[in-house]
Amino acid sequence: MTTAPPAGPGGVVKTPRGPDLPPPARRSAPRARRGLLRALPVSPAVVLLALFMAGPIGYCAYIAFTDLQLTGQAESSFIGFDNFREAFGDERFLNAVWLTLVFTVLSSLIGQNTLGLALASLMRRASKPVRTVTGAVVITAWVLPEVVAGFLLYAFFRREGTLNAVLDFLHLPSQNWMFTLPILAVSFANVWRGTAFSMLVYSAALNEIPKEITEAAEVDGAGGWRRMWHITLPMIRRSIGTNLMLNTLQTLSVFGLIWVMTRGGPGNRSQTLPLFMYEQAFQKSMIGYGTAVALLLLVVGSLFSLVYMRLLRTEV
């Protein structure tokens, strides 16, 4: 651009360019001003976000690289990647990662997601009263605060609980899953609590499918399952992706439910990452290590999100 244009045409070109060049400059000043002005209304939100979201996250990331303790330590120091190295050599951390994956796959991917879709498609065919009652019941579980839900399920699963009373009444052998298979019990609890959300998402998605397409498929002789597989699922693919992402991220961070039901026990058999993190940071007072685990949990969450984002992007 700096090279001088040939004299002949240059002179011609230059003249219109001369008056032409300033306008962008003139235009950019008001544009910048307008941009600033437009940013103004959101600036309080940005400041607040920076203060209350980015600030703590940054501080948290910093702590993860220190050996900060809640008690028994005069001064904390920067220790680099030691916390992370320790985590990967820690059997209980690996156990927690494994349990977190089991919990997420069981309760979020298989449980909430599939059951939500099944409920949503069944409800489309059900009569109005059935739909209203089912919807109300399922959503009640969703609306209940986590701790209340946790306590209800604790009362349901415990040895003297409701489930055993029912099993007893039916002359079936009783269970003690909170003790023998706690990860299954808390997964059930999470399914019970979280299915409503998937159901709502899928109800909305199913309503979007044009009737003509389904009818056309029907006319062509496609049965229920084939319609589901070839018409419905591809058409709600985006909703599936969104739903999976939200479900998974929420399930990964479930704490209250498990804490109320089992406290991660017995013997760490239901200790998912959030509970492990809590134990390290607050019960063993090792805030630094606990925070490092929290960051690793963030990594697990983002890995899941990446997979789902991929799923959302590919076109059929």
DSSP tag of 114: I
CB neighbourhood size of 253 (10 A):
16
Asked if 162 is part of the footprint of other proteins (rule: CB under 8 A), the reply reads no
CB neighbourhood size of 173 (10 A):
7
User: Of 264 and 301, which CB lies nearer to other proteins in the complex structure?
Assistant: 264
Instruction: Considering only the stretches 107-115, 165-173, 248-256, 261-269, report the one whose residues sit in contact with other proteins under the rule CB under 8 A.
Output: 261-269
Asked if 27 is part of the footprint of other proteins (rule: CB under 8 A), the reply reads no
Asked if 89 is part of the footprint of other proteins (rule: CB under 8 A), the reply reads no
User: Of 73 and 253, which CB lies nearer to other proteins in the complex structure?
Assistant: 73
User: Of 245 and 261, which CB lies nearer to other proteins in the complex structure?
Assistant: 261
Q: Please check whether residue 288 is in contact with residue 83, taking contact to mean a CB–CB distance below 8 angstroms.
A: yes
Inter-axis angle of helices 82-89 and 287-313, nearest 10: 80
User: Strand runs (DSSP E) across 43-155, as ranges?
Assistant: none
The length of the chain is 316
HSE-CB at 114 with a 13 A cutoff on CA atoms is 6
Q: Which of residues 112-141 bind other proteins (CB under 8 A)?
A: none
User: Of 160 and 220, which CB lies nearer to other proteins in the complex structure?
Assistant: 160
Q: Among 254, 293, 241, 245, which residue's Cα sits nearest to residue 103? A: 254
Q: How far is Cα 205 from Cα 117, in angstroms, rounded to an integer?
A: 10
Inter-axis angle of helices 287-313 and 91-103, nearest 10: 40
**Among positions 15, 28, 43, 114, the unique one binding other proteins when judged by CB under 8 A:** 43
CB of 85 to other proteins, least distance (A): 13
**Among positions 131, 227, 237, 263, the unique one binding other proteins when judged by CB under 8 A:** 263
Asked if 51 is part of the footprint of other proteins (rule: CB under 8 A), the reply reads yes
CB of 169 to other proteins, least distance (A): 22
User: Of 86 and 146, which CB lies nearer to other proteins in the complex structure?
Assistant: 86
Q: Which of residues 197-256 bind other proteins (CB under 8 A)?
A: none
The CA-atom distances, in angstroms, between 71 and each of 56, 60, 83, 95, 299 are 21, 18, 18, 26, 28
CB of 279 to other proteins, least distance (A): 8
Token pair recorded at residue 115: 């059951």
**Among positions 60, 61, 69, 181, the unique one binding other proteins when judged by CB under 8 A:** 69
- Which phi and psi angles does 181 have, rounded to 5°? -140, 65
**By the criterion CB under 8 A, which residues form the site for other proteins?**
37, 40-41, 43-44, 47-48, 51, 69-74, 158-159, 176, 178-179, 263, 265-267, 269, 282-285
